[in-house]
Amino acid sequence: MREVPFVAPAGVPSGVEVGSLAALAARLPRRSLETPQRPAFHHLLAPSVGVLRHAVDFVDHAVPPGSWLWVRPGQVQQWHDMTGTDGAVVFFETDFLDAATAAAAHLDDPYGAAVHTPAPRDAEALRLAAEHLRHEFDALGRMPLEPHTAALRHLLAVLVLRLSHLARPAAGPAVEHDETFLRFRDAVERDFARSRRVEEYARALGYSPRTLTRAAYAATGLGAKEFVDRRVVLEAKRVLAHSDASVARIAAQLGFSSPTNFGKFFQHRTGHTPLGFRSAVRGRHDTVEAEAEAETGTGTGTGTGTAEGTGRGRGEGK
């Protein structure tokens, strides 16, 4: 499925954009506010006026002033009405930052928290970092492009490092997981579309299935099989929400032997048929046309939007 790519405004350094929620709302096409999107770049949203309401991976968040929302590449997001809301907006691609910063800030963590709430003194430091970054972004032309881009890269690094280490996830303090679970989690993230069998993950990682189940339960409260299945369901939801791919195509992408088996799996897990979920999450008139294509297998991934307009296959485990 095609993700929404980053497209920087003309004349500015590629890979980063800094602005405000109010300005973004004024230029967003209505479709961008109505339809789920799956951007291929990071969103940092920090309201200073009003409460920002935004959905990330089908969870609605109400983000008050002082908190930050971090939408990561590959997640599905949906904008809600931003009337009366303003604050900082930062879009950036992971490779805009150097590898050491990306690693230290856990930029590639697909399980990173969406909402972060810093302590008061850290909130002020984050506000100043965002303000300084915005000032430099708006000062295009004051320095040659190369040092200007370098300054933006360093200032963004300060912001994401502070945010990832000083701001407390809204769900509670970050938990340090043991190596067994982390290896299992990474393997699932890499191979969930190839296999849903815990026995295969255990064999590949050199553990027993029981060890993986204990590790998963200790870290998440879920057994290993449930952890894998939930990741498959999340991916199915993302593709259904963001693309017009047919159910048959999605079933094949996720490693199911037939659309029927995928449909049964999805409905058992969510209470919706795949197309019923697509209709519910979009809740818009264009769903009818998309479903007609999906039923015949003619639909294609469409996703719309850019940085300006914002917003992966087998094994049949049982």
Please report which confidence band the pLDDT of residue 13 belongs to, taking 50, 70 and 90 as the band edges. Answer: confident
Q: How many helices (H) and strands (E) does the chain have?
A: 13, 9
In this predicted model, which residue has the larger pLDDT, 300 or 29?
29
Its sign, for the CA torsion 262, 266, 269, 272, is negative
Can you read off the two tokens belonging to residue 63? Answer: 């983000």
pLDDT at 268 over 70: yes
pLDDT digits (tens, 9 = 90+) for 21-55: 999 988 877 777 768 999 999 999 999 999 999 99
| Residue 231 pLDDT exceeds 70 | yes
Eight-state DSSP code of residue 94: G
- Residue 273 CA from chain centroid, whole number: 23
Confidence of residue 291 (pLDDT cuts 50, 70, 90): very low
- Packing angle of the helix pair 145-166, 120-138 (nearest 10 deg): 160
Give yes or no for residue 20 having a pLDDT over 90.
yes
Q: Is 278 helix (H, G, I), strand (E, B) or coil?
A: helix
Per-residue pLDDT, 48: 96
Question: Measured between alpha carbons, how far is 68 from 115 in angstroms, rounded to an integer?
Answer: 6
Domain(s) labelled CATH 1.10.10.60 in the chain stretch across: 179-296
Band of pLDDT at residue 3, cut at 50, 70 and 90: low
Q: What DSSP character marks residue 243?
A: -
Q: Are 255 and 194 in contact (CB under 8 A)?
A: yes
Q: Which CATH superfamily is domain 16-169 in?
A: Regulatory protein AraC (2.60.120.280)
For CATH 2.60.120.280, the residue range(s) in the chain are 16-169
Note the pLDDT of residue 294.
44
Residue 73: how many other CB atoms lie within 10 Å: 18
Q: What tokens does 226 get? A: 């449930």
CA distance 50 to 297: 43
Residue 272 has a pLDDT of 96
Say which CATH class 179-296 falls into: mainly alpha
51: three-class secondary structure by DSSP:
coil
Question: What would the pLDDT profile of 49-62 be if each residue is shown by its tens digit?
Answer: 999 999 999 999 99
Please answer whether residues 192 and 228 qualify as being in contact, where contact means their C-beta atoms are separated by less than 8 angstroms.
yes
Q: What is the chain's length?
A: 318
